[in-house]
Amino acid sequence: MTDQYAPSPLTAEPSMSPALRWDELPEGPVLVLLDQTRLPVEEAELVCTDVPALVQSIRTLAVRGAPLLGIAGAYGVALAATRGYDVDEAAALLAGARPTAVNLGYGVRRALEAHRAAIAGGADQERAAAATLAEAKQLHREDAVASARMAASGLSLLDELLPGGSHRILTHCNTGSLVSGGEGTAFAVALSAHRAGRLRRLWVDETRPLLQGARLTAYEAARNGMAFTLLADNAAGSLFAAGEVDAVLIGADRIAADGSVANKVGSYPLAVQARYHHVPFIVVAPTTTLDLDTPDGASIEVEQRPGQEVTELTAPQAAGAGVEVGGGMPVAPLGTQAYNPAFDVTPPELVTALVTEYGALSPVTRDGIVELCAQARQE
Ligand code: MRU
């Protein structure tokens, strides 16, 4: 390989607005989303004035990634409360928008419980709505704090596992500030390595079919001036074989009680390849992604998405390719059936360590997961 360690050019202006924000407009409160289906071509905002609009944005992946889905869900309940809609109905709609990321239901439940507690305490609708919004903002802040802590712990772990201080990290999907109240999960660790002068290269899996790696992680890496290289997902094997990967860092959408990790489809094959090549496979996720109610990997519901995402270039991919959205350009013969799970599940024995806001857990065991949850409840 020749000049792969040359700095990557900065291709995007450092102007990204936050992935979401609450705003009080003269016509009422709104939740403003950075439309991730339009990135990296344009930074377009979507203004949600009601819960069905937010549910639609979640389904189309305009807003996405586990921690951010939790934050969006909580703000969604607050939106219903402040606009005087049925809060229980809104919560049910939001929680059911996508099935795999446990954070979505968690965020919705927290906001709903804040609303119920306020009503039970004698608050009128206005005060109950204010309490719901305060809870959503609190979750937003907590996620930012968790992100910063994971970044610090993750970097310490990398330094411990990989003495020499020049890390070549492979990542999958998108786990940066586009999915978080802070700088993300796995990406935040790579970013702190970059800031410390210890990131030699971030290998970015393109992440078929919706290209979260190519469209979003490459975009965030460029904005941060990181040395990164994009690869087709199926090129990862030869990269491991060439000895070019020191560690794999990914996020998670749900971690079952036994430590099984659901994350973007393509994560499991990376874990298998990493094990074969003796490369650490590290999962970075806040404790809000742990789910003691799901006993094991087989019990995790994996979202199945439309086959057109595989057989056609649909809106998000087209945006990435600079093609007008709505194209649906076929890449397979008409009528081709496609298998399109959005996530896969990696068993805990393939995970070298789980980094949360409470430090690194290694090996990943049921007892360790239970302890982390207890620690999170105490704080
Ligand atoms: O379908 P997406 O884009 O919502 O999937 C996102 C992922 O799989 C991320 O890796 C995961 O949510 C972790 S983000 C911290």
Instruction: List, by residue number, the catalytic residues.
Output: 253
Give the predicted TM-score (pTM) of the model: 0.94
Kindly list the distances between the CA atom of residue 188 and the CA atoms of 134, 145, 221, 226, 364, in Å, as whole numbers in the listed order: 26, 12, 10, 12, 21
Taking the C-alpha atoms of residue 297 and residue 261, their distance in angstroms, rounded to an integer, is 7
- Residue 337 CB neighbours (<10 A): 9
Which of 15-19, 104-108, 273-277, 347-351 shows the lowest mean pLDDT across its residues? 15-19
Confirm or reject: Cβ of 286 under 6 Å from ligand 1: no
Which of 152-156, 161-165, 198-202, 240-244 shows the lowest mean pLDDT across its residues? 161-165
Report the nearest-CA residue for atom 9 of ligand 1. Answer: 65
Report the nearest-CA residue for atom 6 of ligand 1. Answer: 65
Question: What six digits make up the tokens of 345?
Answer: 């599940």
Taking the C-alpha atoms of residue 211 and residue 14, their distance in angstroms, rounded to an integer, is 21
Ligand 1 atom with the smallest distance to the CA of 66 is 12
**263 marked as binding residue:** yes
Q: How confident is the model at residue 5 (pLDDT cuts 50, 70, 90)?
A: very low
Query: Ligand 1 center to residue 176 CA distance, Å?
Result: 10
Ligand 1 atom with the smallest distance to the CA of 210 is 3
Kindly list the distances between the CA atom of residue 325 and the CA atoms of 306, 308, 318, 319, 320, in Å, as whole numbers in the listed order: 17, 14, 6, 6, 10
Query: Ligand 1 center to residue 301 CA distance, Å?
Result: 15
Query: Ligand 1 center to residue 344 CA distance, Å?
Result: 11
**137 marked as binding residue:** no
Query: Ligand 1 center to residue 127 CA distance, Å?
Result: 34
Confirm or reject: Cβ of 107 under 6 Å from ligand 1: no
Confirm or reject: Cβ of 263 under 6 Å from ligand 1: yes
Ligand 1 atom with the smallest distance to the CA of 69 is 4
Report the nearest-CA residue for atom 2 of ligand 1. Answer: 65
Confirm or reject: Cβ of 173 under 6 Å from ligand 1: yes
Helical residues (DSSP H) of the chain, grouped into ranges: 51-59, 66-82, 87-95, 102-120, 125-161, 186-195, 218-223, 236-241, 267-276, 308-311, 315-320, 366-378
**164 marked as binding residue:** no
User: Hey, CA dihedral for 119, 375, 369, 180, is it positive or negative?
Assistant: positive
Ligand 1 atom with the smallest distance to the CA of 264 is 8
Q: How confident is the model at residue 85 (pLDDT cuts 50, 70, 90)?
A: very high
- Residue 88 CB neighbours (<10 A): 13
DSSP 3-state assignment of 291?
A: strand
Confirm or reject: Cβ of 65 under 6 Å from ligand 1: yes
Ligand 1 atom with the smallest distance to the CA of 101 is 12
Confirm or reject: Cβ of 253 under 6 Å from ligand 1: yes
**pLDDT for the residue numbered 325:** 46
Q: How confident is the model at residue 252 (pLDDT cuts 50, 70, 90)?
A: very high
Amino acid occupying residue 226: M
Q: What is the pLDDT of residues 24-78, one digit of tens each?
A: 999 999 999 999 999 998 999 999 999 999 999 999 999 999 999 999 999 999 9
Q: How confident is the model at residue 12 (pLDDT cuts 50, 70, 90)?
A: very low
- Residue 296 CB neighbours (<10 A): 15
**DSSP assigned state of 129:** H
Confirm or reject: Cβ of 139 under 6 Å from ligand 1: no
The answer to whether the bond into 363 is cis (omega within 30° of 0) is yes
**224 marked as binding residue:** no
Taking the C-alpha atoms of residue 188 and residue 167, their distance in angstroms, rounded to an integer, is 14
Share of the chain above pLDDT 90, in %: 88
Confirm or reject: Cβ of 175 under 6 Å from ligand 1: yes
Query: Ligand 1 center to residue 96 CA distance, Å?
Result: 17
Q: What is the pLDDT of residues 330-357, one digit of tens each?
A: 899 999 999 999 999 999 999 999 999 9
Confirm or reject: Cβ of 179 under 6 Å from ligand 1: yes
Report the nearest-CA residue for atom 10 of ligand 1. Answer: 251
Q: How confident is the model at residue 16 (pLDDT cuts 50, 70, 90)?
A: low
Taking the C-alpha atoms of residue 9 and residue 201, their distance in angstroms, rounded to an integer, is 13
Question: What six digits make up the tokens of 204?
Answer: 């970015």
